[in-house]
Chain A
Amino acid sequence: MFSNCASGLGGRLACHALVAGVLITACLSSACGGGTSDEAPRPAAPVTNPVDPATAGRIGGKVTLIGTPPAREKIKTINDPGCTGTITTEEVVTGADGALQNVFVYVKDGLGNRVFPVPATPAVLAQEQCMYRPHVLGIQVGQTLDIVNGDDLLHNIHAVPTANGEFNKAQQFKGFRNQHVFSIKEVLVPFKCDVHRWMTAYVGVVDHPFFAVTGNGGTFSLEGLPPGTYTIEAVHEKYGRQTQTVTLEAKGSQDIAFTFKTSQGSA
């Protein structure tokens, strides 16, 4: 076949294309996986916390939503019989008195050049009953993110950051784990499952431990902050970002409020 196909121009082109294709496939097979490495180099971190506990204070508060939030709709197209139970959207979840859940609140600015130790305990993002738990999660740069398949189903875990490297991993069975370390701070990194398209989660990656995710009551508390002037940012996947400037005295406690409106856009 090759001696015959080399007899004309078209045949020669076809031969060359075949050989090139084999070479490319061989290279790809040895470098299979694409994208960037999960194991990013961890920044050197001191062992001790630079904050003096004798002067540490707290900034807390509540996040509320003004206006009628969209109803939490039941997902109608469950295209996997293994996904049992009622699945509802989680884009906007509110509690009593307009308390807005799943808002990532963190110190955006004001910590200066302080470098904080990276927790040895991994943060965990689980897939349970075809939903991500939690829906919004905070983690530090250099900290391990443990991604666990809690379903006896196939999931893929697909992160789509803008500053960090994208990755997409297969999780074939219950108990399957992948670990990832983010090397660049980024708020928020979207996660999704391409098999079950309603599954989404968001991870806030920061280089310090002062972050929180609002729960049922819409409240947050950032503990152990040194005295200073801070920019606090609240981020919601649909209603965007808001910031406030807060000055904290030594051993002080400040409460602030973030108010989102239903007419605002997404983050």
Chain B
Amino acid sequence: MLLHLFALLVAASTAVLIFAGGMVTSTGSGLAVPDWPNTYGWFMWTFPIQHWVGGIFYEHTHRLIASTVGFLILVLAVWLWRAEPRRWVRTLGFIALAAVITQGLLGGLTVLFYLPDPISIAHASLAQIVFCLTITIAVATSPGWKRGYPRGGLAPDDRVLQKTALITTGVVYLQILIGATMRHTDAGLAIPDFPFAFGQLIPPHWDPKIAVHFAHRVGAVFVSLMVLATAGHVLYHHRSRGPLARGAMLLLGLVCVQITLGALTVLSQKQPIINSFHVVTGASVLATSLVLTLRSHRVRFRRESEGAASTGRLGVLTAPGALSTRSGARA
């Protein structure tokens, strides 16, 4: 249980980091600290607080939070290695660690090379992957998942739901990629009005920025449709299954909030806080869809969870010497 709570803390802190990173871009502070990994020549953790002003505040706090999240993921990876009987979950911990290290390097590269679009977009995109990894670990270490959601929460092997949820998660991530491209190519206000485009349904003229901005708006429509399909399927076929139904309702609510924030971002001329909440809410939509996807696939782990349950080795802290006996437990 402690491991699961810690995994939740890591996932939550990653969401905070995504918001902080959003504020960096939203306030144009990406190059307010010209050097990396130091901060104006200081070691990052000793940079005087009286200098945390202007754009430096956003960039420097982003780096501090990122370092903290990196450390938390390191602890999580080691803890999983020491205590987690399932190999695939231990592997996820190491992948998350490698991903967050790569993410830190991308962040440094993007500063040292003056925010080149491809690296900045990659940095934004990998952040979502890291977040998804922490979410997956949190789900996999949860008591509900380990027990297979015994209180009627486990759906039968609903292949339609599994595919729909998976596609929805993919579409949401693609929409986030388009959004990151739009932000880092300065196309956020390429279409200055909402809900129309220059007063019309489709832009009357085009350039690359207008194209990527409009693609993001069209993507929002596809995301909404897929979320409606997934949530509708859950609420029609599995309304009594709490872990699925709650996830579906939350997903619907988050998409509504996200669309509202997207509109407000344009109408407010990219007010930084609204803009950054739009970023982190997008990450929340992705996370919720991912959780729903994972839960819809949980039934496929039933065989391994029955085997692990009979030996009682799920989530038990063991000494490193006992690693070879844990390889059979998977759920």
Contact = CB atoms under 8 A, between A and B. Distances in A.
B112 A197 contact: no
Interface in A168-190: 168-170, 172
A156 B41 CA distance: 12
A79 B57 contact: yes
A156 B98 contact: no
A154 B56 contact: yes
B95 A10 contact: yes
A85 interface: no
Interface stretch (B100-108, B228-236, B302-310): B100-108
Given A21-B98, A21-B102, A79-B54, A4 B114 contact: no
A156 B28 contact: no
Contact of B34 (A11, A170, A196): A170
Given A17-B102, A21-B101, A194-B31, A8 B40 contact: no
Given A14-B98, A158-B31, A80 B108 contact: no
Interface in A110-144: none
Given A24-B105, A25-B105, A28-B112, A18 B57 contact: no
Contacts of B35: 32, 170
A79 to B, nearest CB: 5
Contact of A28 (B40, B54, B78, B108): B108
Contact of B98 (A8, A18, A24): A18
Interface in B36-64: 36, 40-41, 51, 53-57
Nearest to B78: A1
A132 B3 CA distance: 53
Interface string A148-176: 00000110101000000010111010000
A41 interface: no
A195 B54 contact: yes
Contact of A197 (B28, B41, B99): B28
B30 interface: yes
Nearest to B93: A14
Interface string A9-24: 1110111011001001
Contacts of B32: 156, 194-195
B6 interface: no
B12 interface: no
A256 B53 CA distance: 46
Contact of A194 (B40, B55, B99, B109): B55
A28 B37 CA distance: 10
B2 to A, nearest CB: 21
Contacts of A172: 40-41
A43 interface: no
Contact of A35 (B56, B114, B323): B114
A168 B101 CA distance: 25
A170 B32 CA distance: 9
B92 A10 contact: yes
B149 interface: no
A172 B57 CA distance: 15
A172 B28 CA distance: 20
Interface string B68-100: 000000000010010000011011101101110
A195 B92 CA distance: 38
A33 interface: yes
A46 interface: no
B321 to A, nearest CB: 12
Interface of B: 27-36, 40-41, 51, 53-57, 78, 81, 87-88, 90-92, 94-95, 97-99, 101-102, 105, 108-109, 111-114, 320, 323
Interface of A: 1, 4-5, 8-11, 13-15, 17-18, 21, 24-25, 28, 32-35, 79-82, 153-154, 156, 158, 166, 168-170, 172, 194-197
22 contacts: A4-B320, A10-B88, A10-B95, A11-B90, A14-B94, A14-B95, A15-B94, A17-B99, A18-B98, A21-B102, A21-B105, A25-B105, A25-B108, A28-B112, A32-B35, A79-B57, A80-B54, A154-B56, A156-B34, A172-B40, A195-B53, A195-B55
Question: Which 10 pairs across A and B sit closest by C-beta, in order of nearness?
Answer: A10-B91, A17-B98, A14-B94, A34-B112, A194-B32, A80-B53, A195-B54, A14-B98, A168-B34, A170-B34
